[in-house]
Amino acid sequence: MPKRKVEKHAGHLVVIGGAEDREGECRILREFVRLAGGRRARIAIISVASDVPKELDGLYEQAFRRLGAREVHALDVTTRGDANGEEAVLSMGWATGVFFTGGSQLRITRLVGGTRLDTALHRRHEEGLVIAGTSAGAAMMSSVMIVGSSPTMTLRAGVVELGSGLGFLPGVLIDQHFEQRGRLRRLLAAIAQHPHELGLGIDEDTAVVVRGHTFEVTGSGSVTVIDAGGLTHTNLGEVERHELLAVCGVRIHVLPAGYKFDLQNRVPLLEGK
């Protein structure tokens, strides 16, 4: 199966598997602030995914200020009208880094997707804006997005609900809280439906830092990469919903902190390992 080209952007992406350290060493958040300019960083927090946005705004404002960011501002986006408003668009011109909190990825795509804020985010990212997202904020980074799934301990057809993400990282399909919530089968089921996408399962307190065609893993856990480019067989389309699913010929890589991966050629970069 031909490999899908991964678009190259000027800005970094920091894609976090959720439950990142906000009080200790803060390795992931510290790296985000550094990439956004360190002591010159201007951080915009977007908590549209959350049911308790003010609470999360306060937690992340405190963390980013403690890590040395010059300015931190929580963007008030609760409706599509807000996301189409002048304040939201102007904030993207001011910010050097944007952070999406966790919650519901569908809330992000429903309230931000296709708005002026969405357009401004993509334009500024191409100009160098650093974009980070945790949990739901990570899931929405891809073009094809996992929305949810039926509880199951086995690999079954039709249990994963997919939708459209905001597409900051095309060519991949992201799942989060990966090891902690046992989501290997969920991601395999999603990739069986979209074998041209590269699956990224990101553990909690773990992130991939993406620049161009390469990412590096940071944090306390691992990232599981699922490559179905060599898929030889699946019975998807032949079995009924909730029947057992066959997936053959899939490659899996498990990468802890410090490992790098070439998204274009779909290979780990092992020089010096």
Is 4 a residue whose pLDDT tops 60?
A: no
Share of the chain above pLDDT 90, in %: 93
What local confidence, expressed as pLDDT, does residue 2 receive? 45
DSSP designation for 6? P
Written in H, E and C, the secondary structure of 212-245 is CCEEEEEECCEEEEEECCCCCEECCCCCCCCCEC
> 13-260: which CATH number, 3.40.50.880, 3.30.430.20, 3.90.1150.10, 3.40.1650.10?
3.40.50.880
Q: Tell me the whole-structure pTM to 2 decimals.
A: 0.95
3-state secondary structure of 149: strand
3-state secondary structure of 98: strand
Q: Is 204 a catalytic residue?
A: yes
Catalytic-role residue among 135, 142, 149, 222: 135
Q: For residue range 48-58, what is the model confidence (pLDDT) as tens digits?
A: 999 999 999 99
Share of the chain above pLDDT 70, in %: 97
Q: For residue range 118-159, what is the model confidence (pLDDT) as tens digits?
A: 999 999 999 999 999 999 999 999 999 999 998 887 899 999
Q: How far apart are CA 81 and CA 135, in angstroms?
A: 25
Catalytic-role residue among 47, 204, 216, 222: 204
Between 10 and 141, the more confident residue is 141
> CA triplet 213, 60, 257: central angle to 5 degrees?
40
Is 9 a residue whose pLDDT tops 60?
A: no
What local confidence, expressed as pLDDT, does residue 152 receive? 80
Task: Share the mean pLDDT of the chain.
Answer: 96
What local confidence, expressed as pLDDT, does residue 3 receive? 53
Catalytic-role residue among 12, 104, 177, 179: 177
Q: For residue range 206-230, what is the model confidence (pLDDT) as tens digits?
A: 999 999 999 999 999 999 999 999 9
What local confidence, expressed as pLDDT, does residue 273 receive? 72
Q: Is 135 a catalytic residue?
A: yes
Q: For residue range 67-77, what is the model confidence (pLDDT) as tens digits?
A: 999 999 999 99
| 111-to-43, 105, 139, 240 alpha-carbon distances in Å | 20, 10, 15, 34
